Amino acid sequence: MVIPTYNRAELLRHTLGALARQTLPLDEYEVIVVDDGSDDHTAEVARSFESRLNLRYIFREREGYRAAKTRNVGIWQARAEICVLFDCGVLPHSGCLAAHLDSHRDTDRPVAVTGYVYCYNFNNDDADLMNRTIDVTDPDATIALLAEKRLWLDMREDFYTKYGDDYDYLPAPWMNYWTCNVSARTDQLRRVGGFDEDFTAWGAEDIDLGYRLHRDGARFVLNRAAAAIHCPHDKTEDGNNAEADANYKKMAAKYRTPITRLLLSIPDVHFFNLNDVISLRGMPACAEYTAARSSR
């Protein structure tokens, strides 16, 4: 379990509190908190959980926005065979980690698992109401309420309804690999190079990783039992979108395949419609296209 953080001490407290209530025995999972140069009381909060979790706290000097590099520090420090990647401020259900592990058992092919995330949105709509509804001391009860009332479902729910929870058959399943709540084999994460540390602004570093996991043979699935709540926090949709658009351009230039070039069409082509565009145009799979070019 790798959690990057920067100056969000109280959100980190909530995340670690939820991790301390997992159904897995404490000796079966580790928590690595990688601090990207916080100057608040993040270190104090992290260390206060050392008696309740198998926790390692790693501090690195601030270099600006370095989420990719910060996550890589944790991935390369991980001792477990499966690496779960969370954001700070994500509150997992007590069975979340066990559900992630279930998806990786009894399969010869590596799996890239996406967990279900309530209350996540880009523009912080209903943030105040969400915060009044979320009981940070009891994520299980909150998740049960949100599921029953169908409140603030995972913003990818329409995608899952359309394509199903086992959507690996799509040409670009990696578009949904958002690292607020995902997992993959640690050795595969290292084999594909981890996160690309050239991404130094918000967005796209996670789907870039997902793209490389896909090309390396990972099967993409949703596990709804690996559920969590994404606590609202300050953010600006316009600012995030501008940074993500720049990173999409970087990713398109990096791979130069017909499919990755479609990222340049966002937002004119909706993020969740790209798989339909790929299929309608009969585009070659990225791995096939790369192989064809290299054989010339």
The DSSP-derived string for 205-249 is HHHHHHHHHHHTTPEEEEEEEEEEEE------HHHHHHHHHHHHH
Q: Taking all residues of the chain, what is their mean pLDDT, rounded to a whole number?
A: 91
Give the Cα separation of 280 and 283 in Å (integer): 8
Give yes or no for residue 296 having a pLDDT over 60: no
Give yes or no for residue 182 having a pLDDT over 90: yes
pLDDT of residue 106: 79
Give yes or no for residue 226 having a pLDDT over 70: yes
Q: What is the pLDDT of residues 34-79, one digit of tens each?
A: 999 999 999 999 999 999 999 999 999 987 778 899 999 999 999 9
Q: Which of 49-53, 65-69, 247-251, 292-296 has the lowest mean pLDDT?
A: 292-296
Which long-range CB contacts under 8 A does 238-243 form with residues at least 24 apart? Answer: 239/202, 240/122, 240/202, 240/203, 241/122, 241/203, 241/267, 243/201, 243/202, 243/203
Q: Please name the residue that has the structure tokens 């420090």.
A: 77
pLDDT of residue 288: 61
User: pTM of the predicted model, to two decimals?
Assistant: 0.92
> Which of 201, 186, 223, 200 has its CA nearest to residue 95?
223
Q: Could you tell me the two tokens for 23?
A: 């159904």
pLDDT of residue 290: 56
Give yes or no for residue 292 having a pLDDT over 60: no
CB 214 within 8 A of CB 174: yes
CB 286 within 8 A of CB 259: yes
Q: Could you tell me the two tokens for 98?
A: 């066990």
Q: What is the CA angle 252-196-54, rounded to 5?
A: 145
pLDDT of residue 204: 85
Residue 27 burial by Cβ neighbours in a 10 Å radius (0-12, 13-18, 19+): exposed
